[in-house]
Amino acid sequence: MTNTNAPTRTAAPVVLWAVLVISAAVNAGGSVTGLDFTLRMIAGGIALAATAGLITYYVRRRRQR
């Protein structure tokens, strides 16, 4: 017998964590390396979007249990 109610594993959280770490590093290190302000703000926005995606993923996952 198989459990059809078991949650499936996806690559979404792994990808979102990678995007979050990279964009946060670009945002934080940008001022030290002299990266343009606009690019740092874009990286910060991407980091915020990845954070929102992770929160949404984990909240939905908890509701399914």
Contact between residue 21 and residue 4 where contact means Cβ atoms under 8 Å apart: no
| Burial (CB count <10 Å: 0-12, 13-18, 19+), residue 51 | middle
Tokens of 51: 């954070």
State pLDDT tens for residues 9-55: 789 999 999 999 999 999 999 989 999 999 999 999 999 999 999 99
Q: What is the largest CA-CA distance in the chain?
A: 59
Which is nearest to 35 in space by CA: 45, 46, 27?
27
What pLDDT score was predicted for residue 63? 82
